[in-house]
Amino acid sequence: MGSTLVSGTYHELRQRIDVAAQRAGHEVTLLAVSKTKPAAAIRELVALGQLAFGENYVQEALTKQRELHSLLLQWHLIGPLQSNKARDVAEHFDWLQSLDREKLIAPLNRYRPESMPPLNVLIQVNIDDEASKSGCAPELIPTLAEKIAASPRLALRGLMAIPAPHADPELRQAAYRSMRELMQRLRETHPHVDTLSLGMSDDFELAIAEGATMVRVGSALFGTRA
Ligand SMILES: *Cc1c(COP(=O)(O)O)cnc(C)c1O
């Protein structure tokens, strides 16, 4: 069934995260990025104790959520959100990590059901100013944060970024340092924010050392995507 392999990979990854977190002196949450992977692969990780999963595409996530509805999982949308999917996200996710424009805030707040806790929200920042990537300009963070905080059905939790895959680790480190500074600045006006989502399969240890409290790991956990 391949389960021993999955279990070995999972425990090894958790251990590497724990070591990095201890060295950095703060707690770190692992988000398992399950995009393109079937519900069966998610089940295997759930059996090992993993409960938080990240998906990039709303429709794909909803299909898996239906297949796995008997399990109490925590779902994060980490891919770009189109306005016409805001209602699906408000009704079916626990976290939105990719909020990057004001237009999304009112519909998310309006559609979040009263029966659910507020939707946890991270502001996605385009830290390397890449034209092709989603995320807001750093200057927009205060305005977005204000509007999210004023929305009773949303809970502002922090910041997220996908730094450019610089081959040079120092350039990545610079991007992480900028994110850490933006996070500190955000805390001055919103002291309860607690989540800095940075780092993927190939650089999560560096991200943790630079302050990440949540790492989003896909291929190092599930194998490379087709
Ligand atoms: C795919 C993806 C990840 C995981 O990437 P890996 O390199 O497979 O670990 C993390 N964050 C986002 C936003 C992604 O789209």
Q: Encode pLDDT of 164-211 as tens digits.
A: 888 888 888 999 999 999 999 999 999 999 999 999 999 999 999 999
Report the chain's terminal Cα–Cα distance, integer Å: 20
CA of 71 to the centre of ligand 1 (A): 23
Question: Which of 179, 200, 214, 225 most suits a substitution to test ligand 1, by most atoms within 8 Å of the C-beta?
Answer: 200
In angstroms, the CA 10 to CA 146 distance is: 38
Give the tokens for residue 187: 């805390």
CA of 107 to the centre of ligand 1 (A): 26
- Residue-range domain boundaries for the chain: 3-222
List all residues whose CB is within 6 A of at least one atom of ligand 1: 33, 35, 56, 78-79, 162, 200-201, 216-220
pLDDT at 172: 86
Q: Encode pLDDT of 28-51 as tens digits.
A: 999 999 999 999 999 999 999 999
- In ligand 1, the atom with minimum distance to the C-alpha of 217 is 9
From residue 37, alpha-carbon distances to 54, 79, 111, 203, 224 in Å are 11, 15, 28, 21, 10
Output the residue whose Cα is nearest ligand 1's atom 12: 78
pLDDT at 226: 67
**CATH no. for 3-222:** 3.20.20.10
Q: Residue 37, Cβ neighbours under 10 Å: how many?
A: 21
